[in-house]
Amino acid sequence: DVRHGPILYLEDVSVSFDGFRAIDALNLTIDDGELRCIIGPNGAGKTTMMDIITGKTRPDSGKVWFGARHNLLTMNEPEIASLGIGRKFQKPTVFEALTVFENLELAMSADKRILPTLTAGMTPAIRERIGEVLETTGLTGLIHRPAGILSHGQKQWLEIGMLLMQRPRLLLVDEPVAGMTEQEMERTAELLTSLAGKQSVVVVEHDMGFVRSIARKVTVLHQGSVLAEGSMDQISSDPKVVEVYLGA
C-alpha cells in the first residue's frame, strides 16, 4: 500500500567490476510500507544491489534516493544506516554469550563494537522498546536465555529484532529462511508480513514457496537489471522468467 510515495528509488544504476556489468541500468522503486521480494538466479546482481543501497558499493552511474530528501550517493555507510536503513545478512550474527534481552539492549547502541554498561543506563523507553520487539519477534519467553542456545530460526528472529530496536524505516533482508524448518518458515512469513506497513521490507529469497507466501509484489533480477515485476502469479507465467529459471 502506497502511503507517502517511494521510500527507495533507484534510477538507471550501473556498476562494473573489472569490465563486467554486475548491475546494468537498474530501475527499482519501493513504496513506503511495502514488502517486496527480489528473486533471480545466482549472479543476477541481488547482493550487489543491496550493497549499493547500503553504501557498501558505489555505482558508476545512476541515482539512488531514500525518500524525496536523501541522495544516498552522497553518503557513506554509517550515514546511510543512520537514516534508518537496516540490513540483515543471511548468517545470523547474534552475541551468543549474551541473553536475548542483552542482545536487544546492545542493538540500541549505534556502534555494536561498543558494549554499553548493560542494564545500568537502561531507560524506561529502552525497556519498553525491548518489550515491544520481543513481542513482535515472538521471543518473549526466551528473554533471559543466552542467544547461543537458541534454534537457528530463533537466532534469525533475534537478529531481526536487533535491527527493529532502532526503528528502521527500511529493512533489507538476505535469504531469511535458508536452513529453516517448515514451521520456522511459517513464523518468519508472519513476522515479515507483520513488519510491512510499519516499515518497508525488501527480501532477497530463493525459496519460491516462501516468496509466494509473503509477497504482494516480486521483482525478478537478471543480468543486473529488472527482467519482470508483478504478483507471483504474473511473474511465474511470464515466458521471460520461465526461460531464465528453466534455461539456467
166 vs 223 by CB, closer to ligand ADP: 223
When asked if residue 176 is in the footprint of ligand ADP (CB under 6 A), the reply is no
- Among candidate residues 37, 7, 32, the one with its CA nearest the CA of residue 188: 37
46 vs 88 by CB, closer to ligand ADP: 46
When asked if residue 43 is in the footprint of ligand ADP (CB under 6 A), the reply is yes
The region of 24-32, 37-45, 66-74, 158-166 touching ligand ADP under the rule CB under 6 A is: 37-45
Among 46, 129, 169, 187, binds ligand ADP (CB under 6 A): 46
Least CB distance to ligand ADP at residue 218 (A): 14
Least CB distance to ligand ADP at residue 22 (A): 3
Least CB distance to ligand ADP at residue 210 (A): 17
Q: Which ranges in 13-141 belong to alpha helices (H)?
A: 46-54, 77-82, 100-107, 124-137
Element (H, E) at 193: helix 182-195
CA distances from 64 to 8, 60, 145, 162, 230 (A): 8, 12, 41, 26, 22
When asked if residue 156 is in the footprint of ligand ADP (CB under 6 A), the reply is no
CA distance 61 to 53: 13
**What does the per-residue mask of binding to ligand ADP show for 5-34, with x meaning CB under 6 A?**
------------x----x------------
When asked if residue 42 is in the footprint of ligand ADP (CB under 6 A), the reply is yes
Least CB distance to ligand ADP at residue 47 (A): 3
48 vs 154 by CB, closer to ligand ADP: 48
φ/ψ of 109, rounded to 5, equals -80, 130
The region of 35-43, 66-74, 103-111, 195-203 touching ligand ADP under the rule CB under 6 A is: 35-43
CA distances from 55 to 2, 76, 80, 159, 205 (A): 25, 6, 7, 21, 21
When asked if residue 40 is in the footprint of ligand ADP (CB under 6 A), the reply is yes
Least CB distance to ligand ADP at residue 56 (A): 10
3-state secondary structure of 127: helix
DSSP state of 75: S
| Residue burial 199-225, b: 16+ Cβ < 10 Å; e: rest | bbbbbbbeeeebbbbbbebbbbbbebb
Residues 6+ apart with CB under 8 A from 68: 5
When asked if residue 47 is in the footprint of ligand ADP (CB under 6 A), the reply is yes
The region of 44-52, 85-93, 96-104, 182-190 touching ligand ADP under the rule CB under 6 A is: 44-52
Q: Which ranges in 18-151 belong to alpha helices (H)?
A: 46-54, 77-82, 100-107, 124-137
Binding stretches for ligand ADP (CB under 6 A): 17, 22, 40, 42-48
